[in-house]
Amino acid sequence: MIATGYPWHLSLMENWVPVLFVFAFGACVGSLINVLVYRLPQGMPVVLPSSRCPNCETKLTWRENVPILGWLSLGGRCRFCKAKISAEYPIVETIVAVLFAATYVICYLPPSLTAGIDLKFLGVIQPEWALNGFSRTWPAFATLLILLGSLVAMTLVDFRTFTIPLILTWVPVGVALVMHPLNAMLVSPGGLRHSAGTLGDWIIATPGPGGWWWVGACAGAILGLVISNLMLAAGLISRSFADYDAWEQEALVRFRQEHPDADEPGSDTPELWVQYPHARREMVRELAFLAAPVGLGWLGGEILLRLADAAAVPLWLQALTGVAMGYLIGGAIVWGVRILGSLLFGKEAMGLGDVHVLAAIGACLGWPDATLAFFAAVLVGLVSAILGAVRGANASRMLAFGPCLAIGAAVVLYAKPLLEGGIAALLRSPEPIQLP
Ligand SMILES: [Zn+2]
């Protein structure tokens, strides 16, 4: 449908200028991610020192610091010493910029014919809540962008160091905790009307107006997590894998004696840590840590159910509980698989870092999306393992689950309606399946 009589250049301005802004914002976030990925694993301060040439330490001018364009204007070499500057910097900046801009386009542009470009096909994958427009959903959109940026940064760090700096998972959780209730309280306090005309649905899955049990359960579980962490800090319960470093030292000494000529496995590589013999015993420690959150979660739910079942849960509290449910259920899925897998196989299965990653995805997108992202991540991991085995790559690269989770989350984010169609076909459901 062509908006007749409406000047195309106005349509261009209205629709595509915001895309350009989001693209530029993405490039800046990409630039920040470069700094984080470089400095976080080394424990360097993120904010203070300005960017320098890693070779001769010449400070970059503000022009050279402009994302993407700065690198291009320098031709990929330091102005002073002509040392090569890695192309990874502009590539990461471009990827994040394109991700951000694409997310904006998918969320807010599809229904209209914008400046002669028909984007109707994107309507297939447009999230339903985004139909309410940018002005009513911008906090949720901002949460998406922060999650995407954090996932890119986590993936890059995980690829290099096999660890995930936890701060990268806490930032999106903090943003989700503020933004989703803000959306409910200030931006769209009356709820969001979807295309079908239903009122009261929310951007992420919530327990609904009658969900007092979940409100209490989430509050209790989070209180339990705080208590367990305090007990851990006070030494009342012990940290799992506390003797791992000592065991690793011994294992390396043994390895050198037995294979004097071979390259020794690097510390923290899967070749080494799958041989750690006490994984089952350590799971008991992790279950002890989880006793307080599970027990208090159940107790909190039962108490609140009896106290407050008459009134409806206010929308902001529904949204907040939705964030907490996503965090707890997302984290519980990976942690549950980790404990079961370790007990079954006697080897540490999935890292605690991955628990934090899916918890963060759940906090931002809600628990159904986190669950879907987990299964998508398992598929991605299987496919990459098969491809890796075919190409003869070493096993260590296939075992990093963090990047699989990031890709799984992206699949859910950009293709949820397609996934729902696939699930409906799998289950031979006569009705279209719509996940919350
Ligand atoms: Zn230089």
Contacts of 266 (CB under 8 A, 6+ apart): 272
336 in the same domain as 206: yes
Distance 68 CA to ligand 1 centre (A): 18
Residue 77 — φ and ψ, nearest 5°? -130, 150
CA–CA–CA angle 354, 356, 361 (5° rounding)? 95
CA–chain centroid gap for 219, Å, is 22
pLDDT at 418: 75
Residue 131 lies in a domain: no
Could you give the C-alpha distances from 25 to 67, 142, 339, 436, in angstroms and in order?
10, 11, 40, 30
Which domain-ending residue is among 78, 103, 126?
126
What would the two tokens of residue 68 be? Answer: 């993407």
Residue 238 lies in a domain: yes
How many structural domains compose the chain?
2
pLDDT at 296: 96
Helix (H, G, I), strand (E, B) or coil at 60: coil
Alpha-carbon gap, residue 226 to 221, rounded angstroms: 9
Domain range spanning residue 229? 163-427
pLDDT at 1: 43
74 in the same domain as 167: no
Distance 77 CA to ligand 1 centre (A): 8
Contact 165, 39 (CB under 8 A): no
pLDDT at 394: 58
Residue 215 lies in a domain: yes
Alpha-carbon gap, residue 3 to 11, rounded angstroms: 9
Contact 324, 103 (CB under 8 A): no
Residue 151 lies in a domain: no
341 in the same domain as 232: yes
352 in the same domain as 422: yes
91 in the same domain as 178: no
300 in the same domain as 410: yes
Which domain-ending residue is among 126, 141, 176?
126
pLDDT at 221: 97
236 in the same domain as 104: no
Contacts of 375 (CB under 8 A, 6+ apart): 408
Residue 132 lies in a domain: no
Q: Please count the residues of the chain.
A: 436
Which domain-ending residue is among 75, 104, 126?
126
Distance 158 CA to ligand 1 centre (A): 28
End-to-end CA distance of the chain: 30
Residue 432 lies in a domain: no
Residue 158 lies in a domain: no
Distance 41 CA to ligand 1 centre (A): 23
Alpha-carbon gap, residue 172 to 257, rounded angstroms: 46
Beta carbons within 10 angstroms of residue 134's beta carbon: 12
182 in the same domain as 115: no
Mean pLDDT by 10 residues, the chain (436 residues): 55 79 95 88 71 79 84 87 87 95 87 62 77 89 96 89 88 97 88 56 84 95 96 85 77 77 60 70 88 96 85 90 96 94 82 92 95 93 83 60 91 81 75 62
42 in the same domain as 178: no
214 in the same domain as 94: no
User: Inter-axis angle of helices 352-365 and 402-427, to 10 degrees?
Assistant: 60
Distance 390 CA to ligand 1 centre (A): 41
Cα torsion angle, 290, 292, 295, 297, sign: negative
184 in the same domain as 78: no
Alpha-carbon gap, residue 327 to 179, rounded angstroms: 15
Radius of gyration of the chain (CA): 24
227 in the same domain as 84: no
Alpha-carbon gap, residue 137 to 204, rounded angstroms: 12
What would the two tokens of residue 420 be? Answer: 């729902």
Distance 298 CA to ligand 1 centre (A): 59
Q: What is the DSSP letter of 318?
A: H
pLDDT at 309: 64
Helix (H, G, I), strand (E, B) or coil at 117: strand
Distance 74 CA to ligand 1 centre (A): 11
CA–chain centroid gap for 132, Å, is 24
Distance 34 CA to ligand 1 centre (A): 18
Distance 372 CA to ligand 1 centre (A): 46
Alpha-carbon gap, residue 200 to 205, rounded angstroms: 11
Burial pattern 173-202, b for ≥16 Cβ within 10 A else e, equals bebbbebbbbbbbebbeeebeeeeeeeebb
Residues in a beta bridge with 118 = 113
Distance 52 CA to ligand 1 centre (A): 8
Distance 88 CA to ligand 1 centre (A): 17
Alpha-carbon gap, residue 39 to 75, rounded angstroms: 24
Alpha-carbon gap, residue 230 to 286, rounded angstroms: 14
Residue 255 lies in a domain: yes
